[in-house]
Chains A and B, each alone.
Chain A
């Protein structure tokens, strides 16, 4: 592993876009006297690391390390094992994972021996090593009991490392944790405030609900301590206790309120956070704090906002921004839904909103919180104006962080003042095109919330235009959103179709299956737009054949509505005539089949389309037969099968071909939408054997399932023994989709005639014919051809049965 360069973290400002960092903390005092007054002597750097050029790992080989500590042993016979830093160096010097494992194994063995040998010395070092090994990802369970022993030891150093080990190696879900409760209790009662601090810290970080309950009284007591350090830690520990056991909230109410009178900032911050947590945990606590603390809070905020320069708390010229922000947050909770409270805060909020400097991140953080608070409480209109102004400034800030935050505010603001947010639509759209992925995502979410009937068309246009140039990883999100919007506002079918065609052309590969299925359902239902659709899709296909979904939809339409394409049927006013010969149409599908199909589904669809065209364009039959039979030896069973069977239909079954391939019945849109909304699982159940009912095969109509199935649009083979009118759909969707596919077995068609059970999956619909058309009064229900049933030559039935029984 390349050695880490010893660059100081704070000297090189990261080249980030964010606002200039607050001025670095003052350089450490240089005179030895000043140093010793303020700071502990910095821990000595590993001497060996410095002695070598840091970029020369060769010298730090494992062998060299071993040599080193062998000599160490010779010098100091009382030392057992490596020093911590030597172990770390050894591990860093490993070039392979195997080497590292070997070193770790050796160290663990030594540690285990030391632990079980109850060697008193070096427990500190061993625990530190164990923690490092744990950070690398190796299991260290054997060290957990050692943590407990260290915690139970008398001295401060042992406890310190023991508690750290506890927090690192254990988490609240482990039973071992319960064993610490007693030690914790003792330490919470210790006379040394630092030991108390250790216990509070550990408790506050990882206690479980039981421990919280056990030790809550101790923590309460410590909140009354005279020592600020203890008080603040106890307050934060209580935060966790209340989170784990909300019932205890009332115990802490009074204490929390009284802590707000303190002067020490650390205590104040902790107390404010405790109050916030109490408000969330208990309505009573919220009421109590609302009644008793609002004055105090306002005073705290006013004091810190007005305070003069204090280097201890200063961040970029602002005194203790953290305290500002925490108090503002608590104010938001107290003022929500309470007009009196909100009123009382009005002035100080206005002051903070106007006075705070916004050229540095600290100031902006405060303003952000302030705006959130103003929007969250019952604010006056004057305050709201202030908030909107700040929002406007944020939106036009060049700093990416600030703009991101502005988008956040806008998302919240939509529920409060939708108009104001609409006014910023242009800027938001700009953000959708931003270079920063986080901002794009936020903006897109926001746009989606902003769409309404009046602005849907221009908004969609913008999004579709952007789709052309969007990053590939963003295209997925963008496509999904555009399709979602188009479907939601698709009252005008023509507009919806246009948008979908554009999206398919630009990003067809990202369009999800259920989206293009829905599109086909719509086309199927919009008979006046079918000609337009097939022509548009054909044209699009000339330019964008690689877009998988486009290919699929286009090929389906060409197959279904081929004659409309060639004869310019159903031209709309704005359309110009195009010349497409039968041969051209077949070319398009053939190209799709042979060159552009990304998967078996698409190929299958192409084959079916060709079959349909062979019926619509009888003159092309021969050619189509040739194309289809090219796949006779395809290694994919599905394609091979279709190829052979379709070829057979074209060649030898002209009598039934035209009725086989009549126009598909209109897919039931309403039922489709309902089913789609509720369809969830994605399993393809096993095939169940056919149950041939008297009079031919029945095809149930409703289908259980989803798009995962590649088997599409088979021959629409079905026959009803009953006459057309009673060819009603089954009322329940059979769960076996393969059955439906083939029309084998499954439920019988009920004669109830309810169209409700239309498919969840349009593909399934396409396959399982013979239902709704009868209700719609369409001339021939296509494939539920009585002709088939009647003709019923054994050969035909056998053909179908054999065909189907392959599955």
Chain B
């Protein structure tokens, strides 16, 4: 019994859940990077290397295989949506199935926000994709499980920006008129 408890403690030390996503990567079928978000410290050089390695690993996997690859002692969960691969890197003892759900959560929110989102949207409005991601994850942890809430928050912030733009726009119109 004691041995068993000792075992359990060993497991605990070994496998304590960290539930942290280390980074998020969106790459196209051709290996182009559409979005990267790093929640662990990686230098620029390391990031390039990581992207290159993972692209090679993931883009070559066949369609019927499982959505997990082991890489450098971590696990990378990925799912392909049309021409984009959404990849999230987690620790070896995290729940891969949950991360698949997080990826889908993200995609559905993007879909709702952009209206039937496609890769072009993420290319030309990458900064907005980042805003969305920042409402879903902080420090690699999930922030909000309600798609409606995320949409509401983004909408509120977008309208703040719109309002500010209009105000600025109207001022410069006045100036333009005045200086004609």
Contact across chains for B146 and A313 when beta carbons are under 8 A apart: yes
Option from B79, B81, B112 in Cβ contact (under 8 Å) with A25: B112
Contact across chains for A39 and B96 when beta carbons are under 8 A apart: no
Option from A14, A45, A329 in Cβ contact (under 8 Å) with B120: A45
Contact across chains for A435 and B65 when beta carbons are under 8 A apart: yes
In the complex, which residues of chain A have a beta carbon less than 8 angstroms from the beta carbon of B43? 171, 173
Cβ of A458 within 8 Å of any chain B Cβ, yes or no, is no
Identify the closest chain A residue to B80 (Cβ): A14
In the complex, which residues of chain B have a beta carbon less than 8 angstroms from the beta carbon of A325? 95, 98
CB distance from A432 to the nearest CB of B (A): 15
CB distance from B17 to the nearest CB of A (A): 5
A:1-55 near B, CB below 8 Å: 1-2, 4-12, 14-18, 21-22, 24-25, 28, 38-40, 42-43, 45-46, 49
Segment of A360-368, A561-569, A765-773 engaged in the interface with chain B: A360-368
Tell me the complex Cα distance, A745–B135, Å: 71
Tell me the complex Cα distance, A361–B101, Å: 8
Contact across chains for B115 and A28 when beta carbons are under 8 A apart: yes
Cβ of A143 within 8 Å of any chain B Cβ, yes or no, is no
Q: How many residues does chain A have at the interface if contact means C-beta atoms less than 8 Å apart?
A: 112
Count: A-B pairs, CB below 8 Å: 296
Identify the closest chain A residue to B63 (Cβ): A15
Contact across chains for A270 and B141 when beta carbons are under 8 A apart: yes
B:1-17 near A, CB below 8 Å: 4-5, 7-12, 15-17
Cβ of A296 within 8 Å of any chain B Cβ, yes or no, is no
In the complex, which residues of chain B have a beta carbon less than 8 angstroms from the beta carbon of A265? 144-146
Option from B8, B127, B141, B148 in Cβ contact (under 8 Å) with A239: B141
Option from A17, A128, A368, A442 in Cβ contact (under 8 Å) with B95: A368
Contact indicator per residue, chain A 226-237, by CB within 8 Å of chain B (1) or not (0): 000100110011
Option from A1, A8, A11, A313 in Cβ contact (under 8 Å) with B30: A1
Tell me the complex Cα distance, A46–B119, Å: 13
A:701-747 near B, CB below 8 Å: none
CB distance from A93 to the nearest CB of B (A): 13
Contact indicator per residue, chain B 94-123, by CB within 8 Å of chain A (1) or not (0): 011110111011011011111111111101
Option from A39, A132, A437 in Cβ contact (under 8 Å) with B112: A39
In the complex, which residues of chain A have a beta carbon less than 8 angstroms from the beta carbon of B116? 8, 10-11, 28
Contact across chains for B5 and A276 when beta carbons are under 8 A apart: no
Contact across chains for A40 and B155 when beta carbons are under 8 A apart: yes
Tell me the complex Cα distance, A806–B117, Å: 72
Tell me the complex Cα distance, A7–B83, Å: 8
CB distance from A798 to the nearest CB of B (A): 56
Option from B28, B81, B95, B159 in Cβ contact (under 8 Å) with A369: B95
Contact across chains for B120 and A4 when beta carbons are under 8 A apart: yes
Contact indicator per residue, chain B 131-167, by CB within 8 Å of chain A (1) or not (0): 1001000110111111111010111111111001100
In the complex, which residues of chain B have a beta carbon less than 8 angstroms from the beta carbon of A14? 63, 79-82
Tell me whether A405 and B160 are in contact in the complex, defined as CB-CB below 8 angstroms, given that A45-B121, A269-B145 are known contacts: no
Option from B66, B143, B154 in Cβ contact (under 8 Å) with A233: B143
Contact indicator per residue, chain A 125-137, by CB within 8 Å of chain B (1) or not (0): 0001001100111
Contact across chains for B64 and A415 when beta carbons are under 8 A apart: no
Cβ of A326 within 8 Å of any chain B Cβ, yes or no, is yes
Tell me the complex Cα distance, A419–B165, Å: 68
In the complex, which residues of chain A have a beta carbon less than 8 angstroms from the beta carbon of B74? none
Tell me the complex Cα distance, A368–B164, Å: 47
Tell me whether A161 and B127 are in contact in the complex, defined as CB-CB below 8 angstroms, given that A16-B64, A194-B156, A437-B65 are known contacts: yes
Option from A16, A136, A322, A333 in Cβ contact (under 8 Å) with B142: A322
Tell me the complex Cα distance, A197–B160, Å: 14
CB distance from A30 to the nearest CB of B (A): 11
Contact across chains for B127 and A312 when beta carbons are under 8 A apart: no
A2, A39, A435 — most chain B CB neighbours (10 Å): A39
Tell me the complex Cα distance, A15–B79, Å: 10
Cβ of A261 within 8 Å of any chain B Cβ, yes or no, is no
Identify the closest chain B residue to A135 (Cβ): B33
Cβ of A676 within 8 Å of any chain B Cβ, yes or no, is no
CB distance from B43 to the nearest CB of A (A): 7
In the complex, which residues of chain B have a beta carbon less than 8 angstroms from the beta carbon of A362? 101
In the complex, which residues of chain B have a beta carbon less than 8 angstroms from the beta carbon of A38? 151, 155
Contact across chains for B70 and A438 when beta carbons are under 8 A apart: yes
CB distance from B118 to the nearest CB of A (A): 5
Tell me whether A1 and B32 are in contact in the complex, defined as CB-CB below 8 angstroms, given that A10-B116, A336-B8 are known contacts: yes
Cβ of A224 within 8 Å of any chain B Cβ, yes or no, is no
Tell me the complex Cα distance, A276–B32, Å: 36
Q: How many residues does chain B have at the interface if contact means C-beta atoms less than 8 Å apart?
A: 98
Contact across chains for A8 and B82 when beta carbons are under 8 A apart: yes
Tell me the complex Cα distance, A435–B64, Å: 9
Contact across chains for A364 and B97 when beta carbons are under 8 A apart: yes
CB distance from A495 to the nearest CB of B (A): 32
Contact across chains for B8 and A233 when beta carbons are under 8 A apart: no
In the complex, which residues of chain A have a beta carbon less than 8 angstroms from the beta carbon of B105? 315, 322
Contact across chains for B101 and A266 when beta carbons are under 8 A apart: no
Tell me whether A135 and B66 are in contact in the complex, defined as CB-CB below 8 angstroms, given that A157-B165, A239-B141 are known contacts: no
Contact indicator per residue, chain A 244-280, by CB within 8 Å of chain B (1) or not (0): 0000000000000000000001100110010010001
Tell me whether A229 and B41 are in contact in the complex, defined as CB-CB below 8 angstroms, given that A1-B30, A270-B143, A403-B66 are known contacts: no
In the complex, which residues of chain B have a beta carbon less than 8 angstroms from the beta carbon of A312? 146-149
Cβ of A240 within 8 Å of any chain B Cβ, yes or no, is yes
Identify the closest chain B residue to A161 (Cβ): B127
Contact indicator per residue, chain A 115-152, by CB within 8 Å of chain B (1) or not (0): 00000010000001001100111000000000000000
Contact across chains for A205 and B64 when beta carbons are under 8 A apart: no
Option from A6, A12, A156 in Cβ contact (under 8 Å) with B160: A156
Contact across chains for B141 and A337 when beta carbons are under 8 A apart: no
Tell me whether A404 and B126 are in contact in the complex, defined as CB-CB below 8 angstroms, given that A78-B176, A326-B142 are known contacts: no
In the complex, which residues of chain A have a beta carbon less than 8 angstroms from the beta carbon of B130? 164, 168
Contact across chains for A88 and B65 when beta carbons are under 8 A apart: no
Contact indicator per residue, chain A 432-447, by CB within 8 Å of chain B (1) or not (0): 0001111101100000
B30, B37, B104, B154 — most chain A CB neighbours (10 Å): B104
Contact across chains for A401 and B96 when beta carbons are under 8 A apart: yes
Identify the closest chain B residue to A8 (Cβ): B116
In the complex, which residues of chain B have a beta carbon less than 8 angstroms from the beta carbon of A435? 64-65
Cβ of A376 within 8 Å of any chain B Cβ, yes or no, is yes
Tell me whether A156 and B142 are in contact in the complex, defined as CB-CB below 8 angstroms, given that A6-B120, A171-B42, A438-B70 are known contacts: no
Cβ of B170 within 8 Å of any chain A Cβ, yes or no, is no
Identify the closest chain B residue to A322 (Cβ): B145
B:36-82 near A, CB below 8 Å: 36-39, 41-43, 48, 61, 63-70, 79-82
In the complex, which residues of chain B have a beta carbon less than 8 angstroms from the beta carbon of A46? 120, 124
Identify the closest chain A residue to B99 (Cβ): A365
Identify the closest chain B residue to A375 (Cβ): B11
Contact across chains for A205 and B148 when beta carbons are under 8 A apart: no
Tell me the complex Cα distance, A408–B77, Å: 14
Identify the closest chain A residue to B96 (Cβ): A405
Contact across chains for A160 and B131 when beta carbons are under 8 A apart: yes
In the complex, which residues of chain A have a beta carbon less than 8 angstroms from the beta carbon of B15? 376, 412
Nearest 7 interchain pairs by C-beta: A365-B97, A400-B66, A9-B81, A236-B138, A266-B144, A42-B115, A204-B138
Q: List 20 A-B contacts (CB under 8 A).
A: A4-B83, A4-B119, A8-B82, A8-B116, A18-B66, A18-B67, A21-B104, A39-B115, A39-B155, A135-B126, A137-B48, A172-B41, A232-B144, A236-B139, A315-B105, A329-B17, A361-B100, A368-B98, A436-B64, A437-B61
Q: A4-B120, A239-B141, A329-B19 are in contact. List 15 more A-B contacts (CB 8 A).
A: A8-B111, A10-B107, A22-B104, A40-B155, A45-B120, A88-B124, A121-B172, A157-B165, A160-B157, A265-B144, A333-B16, A336-B12, A368-B98, A400-B65, A435-B64
Which B positions have Cβ atoms within 8 angstroms of A?
4-5, 7-12, 15-19, 28, 30, 32-33, 35-39, 41-43, 48, 61, 63-70, 79-84, 95-98, 100-102, 104-105, 107-108, 110-121, 123-128, 130-131, 134, 138-139, 141-149, 151, 153-161, 164-165, 172, 176
